[in-house]
Chains A and B, each alone.
Chain A
Amino acid sequence: MSQMHGTSQTAQNPSRPETTLQWCLSVIPKTDYSAFPLYWIRIPERYKNQQDELSNALREVLIDPLQEELWIAQPEERATWIEQWSRRGYRWWAEKQFLPGVTDNLAHTVQEALELKNFPGITVSSGAGFIFRDRLMSAEDAANLRKTLTMHKIYSDSESVERTSRYTIYHPLADQFKVHDLSADCTGELLTYPSIHLPEPPQTVPVNLELDDAGLEALSKDRLLALTLNEMRTIRNYFRQKQVQQFRSNQGLPTSPTDVELEILAQTWSEHCKHKIFNATISHIDFSSGSRNKVVVKSLYKTYIQGPTKELMATRKDLLSVFKDNSGVVKWNDDFAVCFKVETHNSPSALEPYGGALTGILGVNRDILGTGLGAKPIFNTDVFCFAFPSADLPTRPKLLPAKAIMDGVRKGVEDGGNKSGIPTVNGAIFFHPGYRAKPLVFCGTGGILPLDVHGKCGYEKHTKVGDTIVMVGGRVGKDGIHGATFSSESLHEGSPMSAVQIGDPFTQKRVLDFIVEARDQGLITGITDNGAGGLSSSVGEMAQITHGASIELDKIPTKYPGLADWEVVVSESQERMTLSTTSMDKLQILAEKHHVEATAIGTFHNKGYFEVTRAGKVVALLDLDFLHDGLPPLELEAEWKPSQITMTSGSVPADLSKFLLRLLAHPNISSREHVIRQYDHEVQGMSVIKPLMGERQQAPCDAAVIIPIYGDNTGLAISNGLAPRLSHHDAHLMAVCAVDEAIRNMVCVGADPDTVTLLDNFCWPDPVHGPKNSQGKAMLALLVRACQGLAEAVLAYKAPLISGKDSMKNDFDDGVVRLSIPPTLLISGMARVPDVSKCVSMEFKQPGDLIYLIKAGKPGLAGSHYEEMLGWQSALIPQLDLLKAAQIYRQFYKAIEKGLINSAHDLSEGGLGVAISECIIGSGKGAKIDLTHVVELEKKNADSSPFPFSTDKVLSRIDTILFAEGPARLLVSIDPSQKTEWESLWADFECNEIGVVSDKNRLTIWEGETTVIDVALMDLERAWRTALPFD
């Protein structure tokens, strides 16, 4: 038996530990309290005679002497603490502790602090204690408790305490939680230092693949390989080959693949790593014209993602490295490049939202660190898609409460961004009931890297034969095993607990500082991150550079003994980078300075295989060509039938002011201030356009602008766009709208539309047809349509894609219900602002400024929030003239350069009415809007329409004009003295003056003689600032 210390990462694979003392510590506030930290510590025998000194050191480390005191007890003395609370009228005592193996950052810090106080070797586990009363308490007590615990009711039994605490003060996948009834004579067993015994790890064994189809499928399922039958057969057939068998017997390997080899193949071939669906051959059958129309698409990725970008590369010389590294790299100036990557972490966030989101953001940070020879992260941008907690949602035992998901994700991103010193420059939160089972957590990070690193090109890898393979950062544990294959499956009852992991932003920040300095000293020849698939992916991928790699498992530091060989290779334990170097000695010295663990674990060679050894014995030897190119292409079927929607609608509601206020309070529209304020959006000192601008710091800006280089005047704009409400109407249009929104947002703040680069992130319900997935063909058709729309928009806007990601199994299926997300495409963008002093924010600036509406195409009601509010359904979908829109953005940029624009805002959720309101709220002013002319124009359009009864009629209704949604529309205010110059720019476009900024704090909108909306600023603001239900 070997022993596992849940929290110890300091000792080198500790063998049998010396005898120990155990203490339990409580940090008790001197003022009122209901919750407080608890620690369990193990003290080596050698400190037996220094207990007073140790107590003092613990006091110095753990408490604020002015505010708190420290209680220290042997485990058996703890009952006396608890009796005290009983005497003081408390009824329940609860304590929580991390489950063994779960990352405990607080404990690591305490251990490091005790080392500073000359007490190395003490191991710590952290937790918390809670006391509850069982009767109605004073209002003040209740308020205090609510603050920390959200508990304010009477508990009749310990189970109800447990139930109310679940997901609010503890998470069953990360914590142990025990409730004790203080009124009972016996309080039951208290938690002690968490040490569990792991059996000796299983030896590496060959896995018999000589099975029939059912056997192969069962094997894939049982081992969580997530490989299809065809892939399992391919592996079996490969190992049957004569020359393979000959080679293996020469190397002393069994004929069958070892479990290590099978796991490496499964990770490398996972949907997550190989994007099988995007590379599949798809026969797409289109029923839209009434007849059956079949097209074969060979690889969506090559056709619609890579294709358009390649076409644009002829004129875009700034695209330095696209689609091949961990992020897309674009030239910034003669010395630097910028890079950008967006990832998702949906499945982990559905199970344990805090850890899922935290590891998501730290993971994408590592993508930047692993770009070229190592880039430095300079911004984060995050987009969350949630189900709104109060919506009528299915409740399934496996599903977390919607609010627990929201709060956990928000907090995870706060800790991940803030503690890493990377500003969260912008983002989005989008609600739709379809995200009930799987929230979408998009984490994006941008970085900067020098073009020249000691004479080498900074955005390429320079790994050579003979270079040492180095693992840097955290150690390997059981956490995160099978993350890559897990994310490639839908969630089900047996979803593995080992997928739960909590990130350690502090360790990663040290790794970050270390990597940047090592790069600048020329110590890194190549680098990548350890994400999905762990070492099997990172070393396996880098091995392609030299065409071979060998690693020795004995050298790899683990958190605790008891890991099987295959677990070490595929573990996704966090905060790790893999790099190659020729100067291990210098690297080691630098690592010690930064308190970062750097270990040489093997060598890159050119022998054509990826080799893993344990104690000199080969446990895996895989031909690199087979590993990376042996995957059989997927063949899939798609069937597209246009959506059939029965139109329902009604007459124009009487009180449009009321609807405007309701729209402003809609969770997709209302202010994000509560979340924005908790994310540091200014660290690194680069910001120019922040999430909330203006004198009142209330103006929600469309895109962020930062200055990547101190002292420079060139800005980088960053934005996001998504339109999932249109997916089921028309996925093609959905993709176009997402691209348009991302670009339009950047154009609004002053970016040059000719410098835009984009990233695509597809999150889809499973598009592979199967017995459990009858909607597969339809979902795949939506994917094909979305890709076609994306390609079209990319070409029209001349905005190349530089990187992307897909997450293709966003379904929940517990055998009773199947819940799928709406197909979602997030487009994220970067663009250049040549002179930041020309930047524009969205709020109105001064009374008397003229307000204009610019547009291309037509908005629609389908998918709009107004329609949702009224319970209507229409097929009136937005239409976009892509080429015209592209021209508008370029014309708009000219106006910005001339300094003609005082404010600019895009029309998005809630349409024109909401956009004007936001510009007013942001400025604290008012506006007088006259839509008479706009209505007349729309009527004229409708009259000249070739269709007698067309949707164009609806477009001229005042409520449609106010609240319809759609792409390519901008709201601008200008100084009246510049009216002539401004209007001369727009002679060939739809650009209409619609009103004037006023100093009356009101929004008044007329059509002809009728006042259609008249609302005070205060009421607009009150509605818009309706808080989202985050803690």
Chain B
Amino acid sequence: MHKPEAIVLCGDGINCDAETGWALNLAGFEPKPMHVSDLLNNSGVLEAAQMLVIPGGFSYGDEIASGKILAIKLKERLRDALYNYIENGKLVLGICNGFQVLVQLGLLPFSGENDPRIVSLVRNTQLKFINRWVRLQVFPDVNSRFFTSLREIELPIRHGEGRLALELLEDGAKESTEQTVKRLAPLRYTEEVNGSFDRIAALTNPAGNVLGLMPHPEAFVRWTQNPSWTHRQVAIKRFERTNSIAEIPHGLAIFSNAAASLN
């Protein structure tokens, strides 16, 4: 069967491109690593790809604001191509810094050309970078092609600026923006981790083909990446006398859902 092609952006300080490529590969994609410069010089390559992935990292060293300068670069050179790509129903996935880039580009939660930007990702309330695994709840009523059949998942977060903040507005407008954003949040932290509005960990566009999320799905594609795997393995060994954990790692499931939605 023909594997769907996924462009994995790299360069300019992106640093999760290798493992994101590997995760896509496991999920049945044909990952195509592509330097930002190469994409800008030849946006035609987008046509062949079913998904564009902006991986995590520290693009432009996170200076000024996370994702900001890479977003300006993409906007200056790739604006029309990106809008067309999204309008044609192709998938766009931004992970961590990639999510920040999508928000800076004004592609989330609304990805139309004339939609205003209504959210920001700002510094965690702790004012610190945080690397830890968190539990997340999937909201199946939100239209997204990435979370099919998932309910509660575990993934690591690794960010300093992952707190979703809304535009500062007066009461009435504020409430309606809040409701809008809540309706487009397919994933929430089960407990308070960074002060994010409504504990939101991910945003999708209404059509469900653009997703940005702060946790790292590419960091959970084998069970031995989960910090409790040694514990679970002992428990399984004792009760089942087998050596493996049956459930698909949750990060891999997210990529696999994306692949399945393309078939």
Contacts and interface: CB of A to CB of B under 8 A. Distances in A.
B72 A116 contact: yes
Contacts of B132: 677, 697
B216 A682 contact: yes
27 contacts: A30-B168, A61-B68, A64-B120, A66-B119, A66-B165, A66-B168, A113-B60, A113-B69, A113-B72, A116-B72, A421-B15, A505-B58, A509-B58, A593-B11, A593-B35, A678-B130, A680-B131, A683-B19, A685-B19, A689-B230, A694-B227, A694-B231, A711-B22, A841-B231, A846-B235, A923-B231, A975-B238
Contacts of A509: 13, 15, 58, 61
Interface in B1-22: 10-13, 15-16, 18-19, 22
Interface string B27-69: 0000000010110000000000000000011101111110011
Interface stretch (B121-129, B180-188, B255-263): B121-129
A31 B12 contact: no
Interface in A589-617: 593-595
Interface stretch (B138-146, B196-204, B217-225): B217-225
B76 interface: yes
A60 B168 CA distance: 18
Contact of B23 (A510, A685, A689, A846): A685
Contacts of A147: 127
Contacts of A594: 11, 35, 37
Contact of B117 (A66, A692, A841): A66
Given A695-B228, A840-B230, A683 B120 contact: no
Interface string B217-249: 011010011011011011101100001000000
Contacts of A117: 72, 76
A706 to B, nearest CB: 10
B133 interface: yes
B90 interface: no
B94 interface: no
B22 A112 contact: no
Contacts of B122: 64, 67
Contacts of B221: 685
A513 B13 CA distance: 9
Nearest to A690: B227
B73 interface: yes
Contacts of B23: 685
A843 B119 CA distance: 42
B234 A902 contact: yes
B63 A846 contact: no
Interface string B64-90: 110011001100100000000000000
Q: How large is the interface on A (under 10, 10 to 19, 20 to 34, 35 or more residues)?
A: 35 or more
A197 to B, nearest CB: 28
A479 interface: no
Given A419-B13, A685-B221, A837-B233, A61 B64 contact: yes
Q: How large is the interface on B (under 10, 10 to 19, 20 to 34, 35 or more residues)?
A: 35 or more
B130 A677 contact: yes
User: In this complex, which of B10, B56, B64, B225 has the most chain A Cβ atoms within 10 angstroms of its Cβ?
Assistant: B64
Nearest to B127: A147
Interface in A630-679: 676-679
A65 B127 CA distance: 20
B233 A677 contact: no
B167 interface: yes
A685 B218 contact: yes
Contacts of A593: 11, 35, 37-38
Contact of B58 (A418, A689, A846): A418
A110 interface: yes
Contacts of B133: 697
A419 B61 contact: yes
B168 A845 contact: no
Interface of A: 30-31, 60-62, 64-67, 105-106, 108-110, 112-113, 116-117, 147-148, 414, 418-421, 504-506, 509-510, 513, 593-595, 676-690, 692-695, 697, 707, 710-711, 836-837, 839-841, 843, 845-846, 899, 902, 923, 975
B231 A843 contact: yes
A106 B61 CA distance: 9
Contacts of B230: 689, 693-694, 839-841, 845
Nearest to A414: B129
Given A593-B38, A837-B224, A60 B131 contact: no
A148 B23 CA distance: 39
Given A109-B60, A846-B235, A975-B234, 5 more contacts: A105-B63, A421-B16, A593-B38, A697-B228, A846-B238
A113 B120 CA distance: 19
B18 A506 contact: no
Contacts of A975: 234, 237-238
User: In this complex, which of B131, B132, B167 has the most chain A Cβ atoms within 10 angstroms of its Cβ?
Assistant: B131
B156 interface: yes
A845 B231 contact: yes
Contacts of B69: 61, 109, 112-113, 116
Contacts of B61: 105, 109, 419, 504-506, 509
A31 B123 CA distance: 14
B57 to A, nearest CB: 6
B206 to A, nearest CB: 20
B156 A682 contact: yes
B72 A510 contact: no
A64 B65 contact: yes
A690 B156 CA distance: 12
B128 A678 contact: yes
Given A595-B12, A683-B15, A899 B237 contact: yes
User: In this complex, which of B68, B227, B234 has the most chain A Cβ atoms within 10 angstroms of its Cβ?
Assistant: B227
Contacts of A683: 15-16, 19, 56, 158
Contact of A685 (B18, B64, B228, B243): B18
A685 B119 CA distance: 29
A420 B156 CA distance: 19
B167 A66 contact: yes
Contact of B57 (A421, A690, A845, A899): A421
Contacts of A64: 65, 120, 122
A680 B238 contact: no
A109 B22 contact: no
Contacts of B120: 64, 66-67
Given A67-B120, A113-B72, A688 B224 contact: yes
B78 to A, nearest CB: 12
A190 to B, nearest CB: 23
5 interchain residue pairs of minimum CB distance: A421-B15, A685-B19, A506-B61, A109-B63, A841-B230
A680 B122 CA distance: 19
A684 B167 contact: no
Contacts of B19: 683-686, 710
Given A685-B18, A845-B231, A975-B238, A110 B64 contact: yes
Nearest to A376: B18
A680 B158 contact: yes
Nearest to B11: A513
